[in-house]
Structure 1
């Protein structure tokens, strides 16, 4: 098992990054919904995705946001696409940059994936009061 002190530090780093990207309201809802059953999974993603990958210094949160959106669209992870579109208000990725990421999805992962993602992205921006 990982060193508890190191795990705790990585978890805390991850939680700080997670909150900075997704916002306190989203994270608070997720934490409130957490149960003993899914707590190990929530710890895993907080430590690994947020504490290890999203917290790395070599590229910006904006760039990570665009990469994440492209990957999620390519994989058809629509709920996650919407969540990460909402996160762009914190990461600084602009609607024009998100659109360009979807152009890459169209070429490298398929037009149907990009088409559906763009539809969902427009709806999410509309819900956010953002004119794409």
Structure 2
């Protein structure tokens, strides 16, 4: 991967997931998954998330919908936490998960709503005090 692609991917990855998450991922990288970490930094974070066509909040909601519909609960929780950084609101996430219920199935949406409640708990609307 070239330096500009890697730098852009890492910048976007940190913006979306936060420094703490990315630092943990980097610290736990071994020779077994280093090629995978390079791949996702370039392909996901630079080539897709780093494009200009959608803002980060919209990309975040699309990602939440896909992960929920596909049943990737662990990754879904990570991206639900990331919405604090992307600007997607709890109301937008709820609307997105209603679409998941209709087009991806009620069981997938039910699981996703449970993940949403685990991540945000009884947080007041508007997420006062979070960032």
**TM-score, normalised to structure 1's length?**
0.91
2-side partners of 1:48 and 1:94: how far apart?
26
Q: Report the counterpart of residue 117 of structure 2 in structure 1.
A: 122
User: In angstroms, what is the RMSD of aligned CA positions?
Assistant: 1.1
Q: Report the counterpart of residue 78 of structure 1 in structure 2.
A: 73
2-side partners of 1:131 and 1:91: how far apart?
18
2-side partners of 1:103 and 1:47: how far apart?
31
Which of 25, 34, 37 is the aligned partner of 1:42? Answer: 37
Matched, 1:93 2:88: yes
Deviations, residues 44-64 of structure 1 (Å, cap 9, x unaligned): 000000010000011100000
Larger helix fraction of residues: 1
2-side partners of 1:51 and 1:86: how far apart?
20
Does the 8 Å contact 1:125/1:131 carry over to 2?
no
Measured after TM superposition, the shift of residue 131 of structure 1 is: 3.2
1-side partners of 2:14 and 2:124: how far apart?
25
**Match runs of 1:20-59 below 5 Å:** 20-59=15-54
**TM-score, normalised to structure 2's length?**
0.92
Runs of 4+ in 1 over 4 A off after TM superposition: none
Q: Report the counterpart of residue 104 of structure 2 in structure 1.
A: 109
The gaps in structure 1 that reach 5 residues or longer are none
Q: Report the counterpart of residue 62 of structure 2 in structure 1.
A: 67
The gaps in structure 2 that reach 5 residues or longer are 126-131
Deviations, residues 77-97 of structure 1 (Å, cap 9, x unaligned): 001111001101100000000
Does the 8 Å contact 1:85/1:121 carry over to 2?
yes
